[in-house]
Structure 1
Amino acid sequence: MHILLTGGTGLIGQRLCQYWLAKGHQLTVWSRRPEQVGRLCGAGVRGIDRLEAFGDQTLDAVVNLAGAPIADRPWSSARRALLWGSRITLTEQLLAWLEQRQQRPSVLISGSAVGWYGDAGEREITEASRPVKEDFASQLCIAWEETAQQAEALGIRVVLVRTGLVLASEGGFLSRLRLPFKLGLGGPIGDGRQWMPWIHINDEIALIDFLLQRNDASGPYNACAPEPVRNREFARRLGRALHRPALLPLPAPVLRFGLGELSTLLLGGQRARPVRLLAAGFTFQFNDVQSALDELSSRL
Structure 2
Amino acid sequence: MKIAITGGTGFVGQALTKAFLKNNHEVFILSRKNLQTPEKGLHYVQWLTSGSKPEDSLTDIDVFINLAGESLNSGRWTADRKKRIIDSRVEATKEVIRILAQLETKPSVLINASAVGYYGISREKEFTEADQEHGEDFLAKTVVTWEQEALAAEKLGIRTVLTRFGIILDSQEGALPKMVLPYKLLAGGTVGSGKQWLSWVHIDDVVGLIQHAITNPSIKGPINTVAPRPVKMKEFGQTIAQVLNKPHWLPAPSFALKALLGEMSILVLEGQKVLPQKAKDSDYVFAYNKLEDALTDILK
- Where does 1:8-157 land on structure 2 (aligned, <5 Å)? 8-35=8-35, 38=37, 44-50=41-47, 52-55=53-56, 57-131=59-133, 133-157=135-159
Corresponding position of 1:201: 203
Q: What is the CA–CA distance in structure 2 between the aligned matches of 1:130 and 1:95, rounded to whole Å?
A: 24
Q: Give the match's secondary structure for 2:249.
A: coil
Deviation at 1:295, TM superposition (A): 0.8
Q: Which deviates more from structure 2 when the two are superposed, residues 276-285 or residues 56-65?
A: 56-65
Question: RMSD of aligned C-alpha atoms?
Answer: 1.5
Deviation at 1:43, TM superposition (A): 5.2
Structure 2: distance between partners of 1:189 and 1:69: 22
Q: 1:25/1:69 Cα in 2 relative to 1: closer, same or farther (>3 Å)? A: same
Cα distance, 1:72 vs structure 2: 2.7
Change (3 A) 1:44 1:170: farther
For residues 166 and 22 of structure 2, the distance between their equivalents in structure 1, rounded to whole angstroms, comes to 26
**What SS class does the counterpart of residue 240 from structure 2 fall into?**
helix
The residue type equivalent to 1:78 in the other structure is D
Q: 1:228 aligns with which of 220, 225, 230?
A: 230
Amino acid at match of 2:56: G
Distance 2:220 2:289 in 1: 24
Distance across 2 between alignment mates of 1:236 and 1:32:
42
1:120-177: per-residue Cα shift (whole Å, max 9, x none)?
A: 2210111111345311111111111111001100111000100100111121111212
Residue aligning to 1:175: 177
Q: Secondary structure at the match of 1:55?
A: helix
Contact 1:48–1:54 (8 Å) recurs in 2: no
TM-score, structure 2 normalization:
0.94
Residue type at the aligned position of 1:45: L
Q: Distance in 1 between matches of 2:219 and 2:174?
A: 27
Secondary structure of 1:35 counterpart: coil
Q: Distance in 2 between matches of 1:24 and 1:66?
A: 24
Distance between the aligned counterparts of 1:161 and 1:155, measured in 2? 19
What letter matches 1:59 in structure 2?
I
1:89 to partner: Cα distance:
1.3
Q: CA–CA distance in 1 between the matches of 2:135 and 2:149? A: 21
Give me the whole-angstrom Cα distance separating, in 1, the residues matched to 2:33 and 2:248.
Answer: 39
2: distance between equivalents of 1:187 and 1:44? 45
Match of 2:280 among 262, 278, 281: 278
Aligned counterparts of 2:134 and 2:149: Cα–Cα separation in 1: 21
| Distance in 1 (alpha carbons) for counterparts of 2:44 and 2:227 | 32
- In 2, are the aligned partners of 1:119 and 1:132 still within 8 Å (CA)? no
Q: Are the aligned partners of 2:55 and 2:102 in contact in 1 as well (CA < 8 Å)?
A: no
The AA in structure 2 aligned to 1:46 is H
Contact 2:115/2:143 (<8 A) preserved: yes
| CA deviation profile, 1:69-117 (whole Å, cap 9, x unmatched) | 1023111121112111221111011111211222211110000010111
Counterpart of 1:28 in 2: which secondary structure?
strand
Point out the more displaced range, 225-234 or 80-89: 80-89
Q: How many residues align?
A: 295
CA distance in structure 1 between the partners assigned to 2:224 and 2:103 by the alignment = 31
Structure 1: 5+ residue stretches without partners: none
How far the C-alpha of 1:215 sits from its partner, in A, is: 1.4
Relative to the length of structure 1, the TM-score reads 0.94
* Residue of structure 2 aligned with 1:266, choices 255, 265, 268: 268
- Is this contact kept in 1: 2:123–2:195, CA < 8 A? no
